[in-house]
Amino acid sequence: MKSFQPRLAVVTGAGSGIGRGTAKALADRGATVIVADINFATAKDTAALIHSHGGQALPYALDVADPVSMEGLAEYVRAAHGVPDVVVNNAGIVVGGPFFDIRPADLQRIVDVNLTAVVHGCRLFGAQMAERGAGGQLVNISSVAAFAAMRLGTPYAFTAAGVKHLSDTLRVEMAPLGIGVTVVCPGLIATNLAATASLATLSTEQVAITRQIVVKGMTLLGMHPDKAGRKIVEAAAANRAMLPLRLESRLIHLFTRAFPNFTRALMRAGTGPEVERAVRFVIDHPGFVGIAREAAELMPQRPGLQTYWEPPEYDDPPPPPIPLRR
């Protein structure tokens, strides 16, 4: 691992959270990092942080759900900088709620962002690595949800499982080419993932309050994204097949393999319709919103983290930089 010194890396969803932490860790290893994010402002912030610590990074506006934009990123990186040594497919969103109540547009969006974009990232950059003939490392960020059935989180869970199995399969296929594939299944990390969540059957105000409470809770209980990024880069350096990131991820992975029926029963009990009805009774009470809003404001959070509970306004993506060979 000490000799792992990538020259060029690409990280999607690098404007915040795990993506930002991983981009910083790769820059610490000496890589020039292409910081790609749907929000160009946060991508520029990540690049500025890396520059302030003596690293090299370039921001890039990218909606990973658009295959044409993904192809544009791959073409730009190759023409302007060469073939990357490490690619981290990290961008992800959450869509939750009863499965039958989820809007088709939200279902399509999470599939496009969480799963199809990873497929295209591996296909486009993996092909470049294979043609170069010097190997490389693909890192795909999945979730602890890849291991366990999650009622009210079906879209997130099945896309996470798809990323894991895609990674397992590609690892077998790409090994003869010298290309490693690592899948990361994080547990609770202090990220802004909840801020962009789409939650079916909740009102706009209920969603806003829920986002604030969940994001604050994640900052208090979750692993710092910089620490997560360092562990991810260490796993890539060691060409690990899978990294269950945090204790709960390792335990859930073990339990679902050893006791699948028990795990399903536990998940059913914890998120069953009886629990859902009780929660709905509380949150739909006329006095709940005011109490919840005040509780969300008073709830503490860990200082020093980039946090928001409403999605930031997205910059209009600038045109891709003019490819210049060097």
By annotation, the residues acting in catalysis are 156
Q: Is residue 143 within 8 Å of residue 114, measured between CB atoms?
A: no
Q: Is residue 140 within 8 Å of residue 167, measured between CB atoms?
A: yes
* Separation CA 163–CA 178 (nearest Å): 21
* Separation CA 232–CA 256 (nearest Å): 23
Write out the H or E segment, with its range, that includes residue 213: helix 204-221
* Separation CA 14–CA 36 (nearest Å): 6
59: β partners: 35
3-state secondary structure of 26: helix
* Separation CA 195–CA 117 (nearest Å): 20
Phi, psi of 158 (to 5 degrees): -75, -30
198: β partners: 95
Q: Which long-range contacts (CB under 8 A, 24 or more apart) does 111-115 make?
A: 111/155, 111/159, 112/64, 112/65, 113/64, 113/65, 114/156, 114/159, 114/160, 114/163, 115/159, 115/162, 115/163, 115/166
Closest residue by Cα to residue 245 from 258, 263, 228: 228
Cα–Cα–Cα angle for 203, 209, 212, rounded to 5 degrees: 140
